[in-house]
Structure 1
């Protein structure tokens, strides 16, 4: 069956009325045990999934929305999840939040559990790895699903994708460093086979190509530990580097520590560093860290409204959407 099975399909398959199926779904005591078992077998055989939360949303009551996040330890993703959850709460909805810890198997398991519990929609910041990661199950269940911040499934006609404009962020960070006088600019962090790394890197590469400047790609895990290690060895391995665009703020914050360990100054009189995401800590460290601001709180609110509108209208407004970014300049890259 190509389309999602309906109550009518269950009724026909089990040989009972539509109203009887509805009573089974409502756990009504008026249905005999034998009939209930017969209906449940039919639902399983034809792949029917009752989306209780979507039904309650259509009745303007409360429901559940699944939120699957690849790494809630990262402040960037945690802020997104918080803002989205609060936006849903304002509409009388609850978010079921799951952290997959970058494990595709855990993602599949969590999505399966959310389907069983009848979420009205699912919002996924996918983990990377082999396998479908639960997207095929979401398609079969007919649950509206949106990918955010990362793209884990290429079928954006089924699972629309939204993120900040990472390419533009990489471009702005690199242009800023050139304006500040940097001429040997490195891109640091991020695993090279991942689309999110390539998008952030693409803006950097385009600007350098236009300026006739060489690239220096220093990829690695997007962690403080990697940034600290790189910052400590950068003066010895690449003494000519005078500017760095970091894959994210964690790498940049680690780089500040690594440079401090070996006595390398950060800022106009040393190495100019720009992070990416503009998490809260960027303004609290010393020197304060320049960063590409994604306004992730507003992004989370926007996604909540898009998904809720999709539940009500039945149509996604787009297959891809990129929110604008800006550059927050601080002492790590400029004296002003």
Structure 2
């Protein structure tokens, strides 16, 4: 007895993804007319018959959204993921969450799995590296996908970007340290060649050059360890540097730890500011100044934007930047009453 053709057989014969065939069967407006015609013609040639009863059983996945995060160990990304998941849940959508641990191979694997399980859309804070394979897969599958927090794939017409205004945030941070009395300010942390490093570094450079000062770049891993080691190195080998704009709060918290280790006081002896304003910034001593993008509101807005795309088929604008705000505390002000 001849085996009845499946949706996978149709996809292979038509040269498209299984997800694309599913979208055609659902009469989704996201599929191009010529693709719809090709898939339907292939179905006819193979004798494929759509089993609507089985499809109805699978329809529970229609409200499934993929949430792909590059580093859930970082409290900033954890806060984003938690808030976004709750926003989706409030609207009746279930969320599949994956941590890629800054590994593009793992990212490709989890995204492929999400596509196979029929997610309606994907919100991704992508890992850096060989990311093109992942986004090419998403393009073929035609799954609505938003880049958030990080700008990795330049095809924002396909994968809209929603990220904080990192350039503006770094300008605010640098100008604040200058106003606080710092004379020689370094930019500390962030790996070279990554878009988010470039965005924050460019804001620092603009403000430093506007002030007529020489920029000092000390790039490296965005970790507490790098920050602690840099604080000790600065104190021993570059005592004239009296301020730092850190790539993120983890680097700044590491510097705070390093200064505490050698008895140097942030705020009085050294002006220090982080970026992201995670909860710990207001709990450490001295309290850490930071640039906030109000991650809870940002995540909720990202979720609402994604849902609007899914429910109205209106794609978000290609690039959108969220507002940032300087939060000044003891590490830059030196006022123990703050």
State the TM-score, normalizing by the size of structure 2.
0.86
Q: Is residue 76 of structure 2 the alignment partner of residue 20 of structure 1?
A: no
Aligned to 1:59: none
CA distance in 2, matches of 1:231, 1:106: 34
Q: Does 1:149 align with 2:178?
A: no
CA distance in 2, matches of 1:156, 1:300: 19
- Aligned-pair distance for 1:261? 1.3
Count of residues in Structure 1 that have an aligned counterpart in Structure 2: 306
User: Cα distance, 1:163 vs. partner?
Assistant: 0.6
| 1:223 equivalenced with 2:223 (yes/no) | yes
Q: List per-residue Cα deviations over 1:136-177 (Å, max 9, x = no partner).
A: 111111110000111221100000011111111100000001
- Determine the structure 2 residue equivalent to 1:320: 319
Deviation string 1:221-276 (CA, Å, 9 cap, x unpaired) is: 00000001111111122111111100000000000111111221210x20010000
State how far apart, in whole Å, the 2-side matches of 1:220 and 1:10 are. Answer: 49
Render the CA deviation track for 1:164-217: whole Å, top value 9, x for unaligned.
111111000000011111110000000011110010111111011111011110
Corresponding position of 2:96:
96
User: What are the Cα deviations for residues 23-48 of structure 1, in whole angstroms up to 9, with x where unaligned?
Assistant: 375288xxxxxxxxxxxxxxxxxxxx
Give the distance between the partners of 2:320 and 2:131, measured in 1 at CA: 25
RMSD (CA atoms):
2.2
2:254 corresponds to? 254
Cα offsets for 1:54-88 (capped at 9, x unmatched) = 8x4xxxxxx11000000000000000000100100
Q: In structure 1, what is the equivalent of residue 263 of structure 2?
A: 263
The equivalent residue for 2:275 is 276
Q: Deviation per CA, 1:87-116, whole angstroms, max 9, x where unpaired?
A: 001101111000000000000000000001
Q: Describe how 1:283-302 pairs up with structure 2 within 5 A.
A: 283-302=282-301
Q: Distance in 2 between matches of 1:11 and 1:180?
A: 67
SS at match of 1:134: helix
1:206-217 pair list within 5 angstroms:
206-217=206-217
Give the match for residue 127 of structure 2: 127
| TM-score of the two chains, using structure 1 as the length reference | 0.86
Where do residues 1-336 of structure 1 align in structure 2 (5 Å cutoff)?
A: 4-5=20-21, 6-7=24-25, 9-15=38-44, 20-23=49-52, 26=55, 52=59, 56=62, 63-267=63-267, 269-334=268-333, 335=335
Offset, 1:53: 6.4
The whole-number CA distance in structure 1 between the counterparts of 2:172 and 2:52 is 58
State the 1:15 CA deviation. Answer: 2.8
Task: Tell me: CA distance 1:106–1:17, structure 2 relative to 1, closer, same or farther (3 Å).
Answer: closer
Q: The residue matched to 2:186 in structure 1 has which SS?
A: strand
Question: Given that residues 152 and 195 in structure 2 are in contact (C-alpha distance below 8 angstroms), is that contact kept between their aligned partners in structure 1?
Answer: no
| Displacement of 1:12 | 3.2
- Give the whole-Å Cα distance in 2 for the aligned partners of 1:11 and 1:236: 71
Structure 2: gaps spanning 5 or more residues: 1-13, 26-35
Whole-angstrom distance in 1 between the partners of 2:237 and 2:163 = 34
C-alpha deviation, 1:52, in angstroms? 4.9
Structure 1, unmatched stretches of 5+, are 29-50, 57-62
Partners of 1:150 and 1:27 in 2: CA distance = 36
